[in-house]
C-alpha cells in the first residue's frame, strides 16, 4: 500500500499514543469512541500508534485484544502503523514475533518486516511519495524503543540502541544519494533524553506534568539525526500527561497526546486528566510536498482543536526566563 501526497493538499498524519486497551470494559469503550471521533473529524492519510496500544499483562489472547484495540483505524479504512511500547509485549509465552505477525495481518496495516536487523527490535521506515511519480517527498521512521535495560545492574527504561541508529544513518545516506534531501519524522514510544533537554533549554508549547521516562544514558541517536539533517521532528509517548514540543538544534522534539482512558490506575484516571485541563485525543501533523517544515496541533476527542498550546519558557543562566 503506497502512501502518497495528493496534488495541492497537505498530507495529514495522526499520532495515537498510549491507548492502553485492556479488557473491553467501559474505559476501553470510551477510548474507542474517542479514537473514532478523532478519525472522523480529522480524516487522516496515515495513523501512527506510538506504543502501549494494549495492556499485554492482562492475560487476554493477543490477537483478540489487538484487533479490538485497532478497530477504529481499521473501520476508518486508513493506513496505519503500529509501534511497540513497553506494555504491548507482556504476554507471557507469546513472543514478540507472534504479536508482530498478528499486527501485519490486519487490514490497512503498513508495517514492514523489521528492517534494522537489531535483535528483538521491529524498526521500519515508510515513504510518502510525491503526487506525481514515485520519488519520496517525506519519510516516516518508526522505531521500536524496547522496554527496559540493565546498565551495570541498574534497571531503567530502554531507548534507541546504537545499532538502530546505525541502520537509520545508512538508510538516510542511501536516500540522500538517490533522491537528495528527503525530510522525515521519527516516532517511538519511550522518549529520548533530549525530551528533557528541550524542556530545560528551549521555548516549548504544551504541558509537562510528569518526569521524562527516558533511558539513563545517551545512546547518540539525536546527535546522528542532527548530523544527517533529514529528521525534522521526533515524537514519543510513554509519559501520559506530557504533550509539549519544542525546537532543539533545529529538530522539533515532543510528545503526542494521550489517546486512552485506561491509563495508570488511580492518579492518571479520567478525572485527573480533566483536572490537568487535558482530554484524550491525538497529535496531528500536516506535511507539505516540497517543504521541510511541518505544522502540528492537538485534536481532542470532543472535536476541540488546539493550535496554540501553553508556552513554557525555561530560565536561562541569568534567570530571566527568556530563551537562550
Contact criterion met (CB below 8 Å) for 246 and 202: yes
Q: Are 84 and 117 in contact (CB under 8 A)?
A: no
Output the pLDDT for position 275: 76
Condensed to tens digits (0 to 9), the pLDDT of residues 207-222 reads 999 999 999 999 999 9
Quick one: pLDDT at residue 323?
43
Contacts of range 4-8, beta carbons closer than 8 Å, 24 or more positions apart:
4/128, 4/129, 4/130, 4/131, 5/128, 5/129, 5/130, 5/131, 5/137, 5/289, 6/131, 7/131, 7/132
DSSP single-letter state for residue 5: P
On whether the CB atoms of residues 80 and 47 are closer than 8 A, the answer is yes
The DSSP code for 187 is E
Top CATH class of 3-312 equals alpha beta
Rg of the chain taking only CA atoms, in angstroms: 19
Q: What is the pLDDT of residue 317?
A: 41
Query: For residue 271, what pLDDT is reported?
Result: 61
Question: How high is the pLDDT of residue 37?
Answer: 98
Is residue 199 exposed (0-12), middle (13-18) or buried (19+ Cβ within 10 Å)? buried
How far is C-alpha 218 from the chain's CA centre?
A: 19
Q: What are the tens digits of pLDDT across the range 247-281? A: 999 999 999 999 998 876 544 555 667 777 889 99
| Beta carbons of 253 and 246 less than 8 angstroms apart | yes
Tens digit of each residue's pLDDT, the chain (324 residues): 899 999 999 999 999 999 999 888 898 999 999 999 999 999 999 999 999 999 876 556 677 888 999 999 999 999 999 999 988 887 666 788 988 999 999 999 999 999 998 989 999 999 999 999 999 999 999 999 998 788 877 788 889 999 999 999 999 999 999 999 999 999 999 999 999 999 999 999 999 999 999 999 999 999 999 999 999 999 999 999 999 999 999 999 999 999 998 876 544 555 667 777 889 999 999 999 999 999 999 999 999 999 999 999 998 644 444 443
Amino acid at each position: 500500500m503506497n502512501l502518497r501526497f495528493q496534488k495541492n493538499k497537505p498530507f495529514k498524519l495522526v499520532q495515537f499514543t498510549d491507548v492502553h486497551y485492556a479488557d473491553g470494559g467501559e474505559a476501553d469503550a470510551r477510548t474507542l469512541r474517542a479514537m473514532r471521533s478523532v478519525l472522523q473529524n480529522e480524516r487522516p492519510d496515515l495513523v501512527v500508534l506510538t506504543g502501549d496500544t494494549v495492556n499485554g499483562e492482562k492475560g487476554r489472547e493477543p490477537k483478540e485484544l489487538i484487533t479490538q484495540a485497532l478497530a477504529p483505524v481499521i473501520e476508518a479504512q486508513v493506513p496505519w502503523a503500529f509501534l511497540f511500547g513497553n506494555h504491548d509485549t507482556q504476554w507471557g509465552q507469546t513472543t514478540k514475533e507472534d504479536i508482530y505477525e498478528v499486527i501485519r495481518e490486519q487490514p490497512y496495516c503498513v508495517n514492514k518486516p523489521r528492517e534494522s536487523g537489531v535483535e528483538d527490535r521491529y524498526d521500519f521506515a515508510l515513504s510518502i511519495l510525491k503526487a506525481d511519480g514515485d520519488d519520496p517527498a517525506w519519510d516516516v521512521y518508526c522505531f521500536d524503543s524496547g522496554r527496559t535495560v540493565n546498565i551495570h545492574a541498574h534497571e531503567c527504561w530502554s531507548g534507541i540502541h546504537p545499532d538502530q541508529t546505525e541502520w537509520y544513518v545508512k538508510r538516510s545516506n542511501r536516500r540522500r544519494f538517490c533522491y537528495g534531501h528527503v525530510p522525515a519524522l521519527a516516532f517511538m514510544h519511550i522518549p529520548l533524553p533530549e525530551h528533557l533537554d528541550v524542556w530545560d533549554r528551549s521555548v516549548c508549547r504544551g504541558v509537562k506534568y510528569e518526569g521524562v521516562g527516558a533511558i539513563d544514558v545517551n545512546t547518540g541517536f539525536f546527535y546522528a539525526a542532527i548530523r544527517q539533517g533529514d529528521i525534522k521532528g521526533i515524537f514519543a509517548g510513554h509519559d501520559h500527561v506530557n504533550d509539549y514540543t519544542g525546537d532543539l538544534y533545529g529538530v522539533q522534539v515532543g510528545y503526542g497526546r494521550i489517546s486512552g482512558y485506561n491509563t495508570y490506575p488511580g492518579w492518571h484516571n479520567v478525572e485527573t486528566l480533566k483536572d490537568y485541563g487535558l482530554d484524550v485525543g491525538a497529535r496531528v501533523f500536516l506535511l507539505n510536498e516540497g517543504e521541510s517544515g511541518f505544522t502540528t496541533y492537538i485534536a481532542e476527542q470532543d472535536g476541540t482543536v488546539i493550535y496554540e498550546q501553553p508556552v513554557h519558557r525555561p530560565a536561562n543562566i541569568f534567570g530571566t526566563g527568556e530563551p537562550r
